[in-house]
Chain A
Amino acid sequence: MIDIQEKLKEIGPYVEAADDDVLVCRCEEVTKGEIRQAVHAGMFTMEEIRRYLRSGMGLCQGQTCGKLVKGIVARELKVSPLEIEPATSRAPMRPTEMRIMAQDGGGANE
């Protein structure tokens, strides 16, 4: 378990970067700067970042930005991307209209 306070001390304060305004999650319009700031606010896992910023929660469900977000978080934390805890996978795997979800009769549709 990472000690968040220790880690925050280790990585130092958030410093603005020239490319902070680059969009990373296009679906939810989340920028690189927002992700970096989220890390400095103590969000170290993909799940936390996703809940905090909604990155990867849009139409493509993180198919495009997932790896990019992970890379940014890892660089900010000065660790390998393999050490970043991935987000939970949940149904529906693809965007599904609520109208259709509501009709899922469960057992009746078996």
Chain B
Amino acid sequence: MIKRYDLIVVGAGPAGLSAAIEAAKNGLKPIVFDENAKPGGQLFKQIHKFFGSKEHKAKIRGFNIGDELLREASENGVEVVLNATVIGLYDGKEVTVKIGEEILHYKGDSVLIATGASENMVTFKGWTTPGVIGAGAAQTMMNLHHIKPGNKVLMLGSGNVGLVVSYQLMQAGCEVVALVDAAPRIGGYGVHAAKIARCGVPFYLSHTIVEVTGAEAVNGVTIAKLDENFKFIEGTEKTFEVDTVCVAVGLSPMSQLLKQAGCEMKDTPGGFVPVCDDSGATSIPGIYAAGDVAGIEEASSAMIEGRMSGARIANYLGYLDEDALQARLAELEQALSSLRKGMFAPENRGKLVTKTEEGIDTSMSLLEKGYVADDEIEKYPGVTKGSGVHPVIECTQNIPCNPCQDACPKGCISIGSNITSLPVVKGDVACIGCGMCVASCSGQAIFLVEDDIGDGYGTVTLPYEFLPLPEVGQKGIALGRDGKEVCKAEVINVRSSTAFDHTHLLTMKVSTDMVMKARFFKAE
């Protein structure tokens, strides 16, 4: 008996599962193979809240999105086979799968490749020393296996992966000694950089690793500044005592199966990818690609691409008529294009965007040091003054994200129909200090500030995601956006709520003249 399926999906990550769900909803019988012991791809390592809007599952943490996908897959009868490694894709859409001690053959009327990507590496002296690890490996250790990768870590790479993993390393109790990137500017979202900068992590842009030392394991790392030709400038070396060096220098699509199958491929600066249309159809009828394997993006867009491929495949096999397909694709296309807007849109990759869509100067301090300078912050529309408690939204880059707009029960925050617009605080609405906006911001960029609570003091309420949670009455130091000490602080309230989803709201008392500077609490 030939095991035959309407759709064979390779890879049970966000793209593959979404495609299988979409196909199954249209009546197809899909099977999903994944070489890992657990489904979900990288989603279960993502403990941060996602960006985007409601339709992109914004402000939901990645692993919860993973759970939702798995539930949806099982409700729709998607068969997921784990520990199943697809090792070949042949003519007639036949795949060979290694399961246990056997190699099994399956045939699909359609095949979707959603194998994702693997981490890039860089070579430097000592890069093979135990303790030099990929950022993805660090995430796997921390967030899947609950193992601390090291105690003192240097992160190489300031893209979103480097930034997000640096923060997670700190959450796991590691000390991140520095974040280093050969590029002259931080590659990832400013809000991700700002939340590590205010904890005191220094950024070294235009720097890279000269050497890692240690015979049996990493015991130190030396970095140096680079000139315009990416050559080390002598005399700029800095050495850090670390036991771990984390590398986050990009991803490459794992597209080998598509190439083996004979799909037309193209080599791009982003990796070796199949030539395919918007819904992932490759040059071979019936073979599709979705997610990172078709071009590196992130999980939110991978899920939409998967749905598009799923719908297209349903049409290809006659389960969905052309009109219904076009309607569905238009809907998904809109969701996808909104994610590809703003300062980090694909067409802006590598470019310096000097002004926001609102015409405000981009903070160069944010791009080069990881934080908006104190004298720049008031230029942005979310940063307002007022008597009584009020939100201060330090969102300064046009990124596709808008959960804050729906968070305020009083409707005091507005982004409007353009998802990348900077949030505006409406002056005529009274803030009740509920903190829903603070917890809703995936970038942890919203603070509640009250200038004057008497005796020369004011308060700052900040999102706090570290353990142990400080206690009311605890004294410490308020750190500025640059992570440097600004004044003494006392915790006067700590709020936790299911609605905040593990983002705690810490309110600290600081002197009134420091309420616009103090952005983090460090226990003494």
Stretch at the interface among A8-16, A37-45, A101-109: A101-109
Q: Which of B86, B122, B124, B267 contacts A93 (CB 8 A)?
A: B86
Q: Which of B2, B121, B257, B259 contacts A65 (CB 8 A)?
A: B121
Cβ–Cβ contact A82 & B268, under 8 A = yes
Given known contacts A86-B272, A109-B104, A110-B3, A93 and B87 CB-to-CB distance under 8 angstroms: yes
Interface residues of B in 254-283 (CB under 8 A from A): 254, 256-257, 259-260, 265, 267-269, 271-272
Q: Which of B35, B103, B121, B256 contacts A104 (CB 8 A)?
A: B103
Q: Which of A81, A93, A104 contacts B257 (CB 8 A)?
A: A93
Cβ–Cβ contact A92 & B105, under 8 A = no
Q: Which of B123, B128, B254, B269 contacts A63 (CB 8 A)?
A: B254
Q: In the complex, which residues of chain B have a beta carbon less than 8 angstroms from the beta carbon of A109?
A: 102-105
> A106 CA to B2 CA in the complex, in Å?
11
> A68 CA to B119 CA in the complex, in Å?
12
Q: In the complex, which residues of chain B have a beta carbon less than 8 angstroms from the beta carbon of A94?
A: 35, 85, 87, 98
Given known contacts A101-B103, A109-B104, A110-B2, A92 and B87 CB-to-CB distance under 8 angstroms: yes
Cβ–Cβ contact A92 & B98, under 8 A = yes
> Does residue B118 face the partner (Cβ distance < 8 Å to A)?
yes
Q: In the complex, which residues of chain B have a beta carbon less than 8 angstroms from the beta carbon of A63?
A: 118, 254
Q: In the complex, which residues of chain A have a beta carbon less than 8 angstroms from the beta carbon of B1?
A: 110
Encode contact with A along B112-135: 1 for CB under 8 Å, 0 otherwise: 000000101111110110000000
Cβ–Cβ contact A86 & B267, under 8 A = yes
> A99 CA to B267 CA in the complex, in Å?
35
> A24 CA to B269 CA in the complex, in Å?
20
> Does residue B252 face the partner (Cβ distance < 8 Å to A)?
yes
Q: In the complex, which residues of chain A have a beta carbon less than 8 angstroms from the beta carbon of B271?
A: 67
Q: In the complex, which residues of chain B have a beta carbon less than 8 angstroms from the beta carbon of A81?
A: 267
Q: Which residue of B lies closest to A107 (CB)?
A: B105
Given known contacts A82-B269, A89-B259, A32 and B87 CB-to-CB distance under 8 angstroms: no
Q: Which residue of B lies closest to A62 (CB)?
A: B256
Q: Which of B3, B87, B120, B124 contacts A96 (CB 8 A)?
A: B87
A77 to chain B, nearest CB (A): 15
> Does residue A54 face the partner (Cβ distance < 8 Å to B)?
no
Q: In the complex, which residues of chain B have a beta carbon less than 8 angstroms from the beta carbon of A92?
A: 87-88, 96, 98
> A107 CA to B106 CA in the complex, in Å?
10
Q: How large is the interface on A (under 10, 10 to 19, 20 to 34, 35 or more residues)?
A: 20 to 34
Tell me if B's interface is mostly helix, strand, loop or mixed: strand
Q: Which of A64, A68, A82, A91 contacts B88 (CB 8 A)?
A: A91
Tell me if A's interface is mostly helix, strand, loop or mixed: loop
Given known contacts A89-B257, A109-B103, A19 and B125 CB-to-CB distance under 8 angstroms: yes
> A82 CA to B103 CA in the complex, in Å?
35
> Does residue B307 face the partner (Cβ distance < 8 Å to A)?
no
Given known contacts A82-B267, A92-B87, A22 and B123 CB-to-CB distance under 8 angstroms: yes
> Does residue B207 face the partner (Cβ distance < 8 Å to A)?
no
Q: Which among A65, A67, A106 has the highest number of chain B CB atoms within 10 Å?
A: A67
A19 to chain B, nearest CB (A): 7
> Does residue A50 face the partner (Cβ distance < 8 Å to B)?
no
Q: How many residues of B contact A (CB 8 A)?
A: 40
Q: In the complex, which residues of chain B have a beta carbon less than 8 angstroms from the beta carbon of A91?
A: 87-90, 96, 260
Q: In the complex, which residues of chain B have a beta carbon less than 8 angstroms from the beta carbon of A107?
A: 105
Given known contacts A82-B269, A93-B88, A104-B96, A26 and B128 CB-to-CB distance under 8 angstroms: yes
> A90 CA to B257 CA in the complex, in Å?
8
Interface residues of A in 42-85 (CB under 8 A from B): 61, 63-68, 81-82
Q: Which among B101, B121, B122, B265 has the highest number of chain A CB atoms within 10 Å?
A: B121
Q: In the complex, which residues of chain B have a beta carbon less than 8 angstroms from the beta carbon of A104?
A: 96, 103
Given known contacts A64-B121, A91-B87, A91-B96, A100 and B102 CB-to-CB distance under 8 angstroms: yes
B127 to chain A, nearest CB (A): 7
Q: In the complex, which residues of chain B have a beta carbon less than 8 angstroms from the beta carbon of A66?
A: 252
> Does residue B107 face the partner (Cβ distance < 8 Å to A)?
yes
Q: Which of B120, B128, B272 contacts A23 (CB 8 A)?
A: B128
Q: In the complex, which residues of chain A have a beta carbon less than 8 angstroms from the beta carbon of B87?
A: 91-94, 96
> A107 CA to B107 CA in the complex, in Å?
11
Cβ–Cβ contact B103 & A100, under 8 A = yes
> A106 CA to B107 CA in the complex, in Å?
12
B99 to chain A, nearest CB (A): 10
> A45 CA to B271 CA in the complex, in Å?
17
Q: In the complex, which residues of chain B have a beta carbon less than 8 angstroms from the beta carbon of A93?
A: 85-88, 256-257, 260
Q: In the complex, which residues of chain B have a beta carbon less than 8 angstroms from the beta carbon of A101?
A: 103
Given known contacts A93-B86, A101-B103, A67 and B120 CB-to-CB distance under 8 angstroms: yes
Additional pairs, 15, CB under 8 Å, beyond known A91-B90, A106-B105? A23-B123, A67-B120, A81-B267, A89-B257, A89-B259, A91-B88, A92-B88, A96-B103, A99-B101, A100-B98, A101-B103, A103-B103, A109-B104, A110-B2, A110-B107
What would be 7 A-B contacts, judged by CB atoms less than 8 Å apart?
A22-B124, A26-B128, A67-B121, A68-B123, A91-B87, A92-B98, A109-B104
- What are the nearest 7 A-B pairs in CB distance? A91-B88, A92-B87, A89-B259, A104-B103, A89-B256, A89-B260, A110-B105
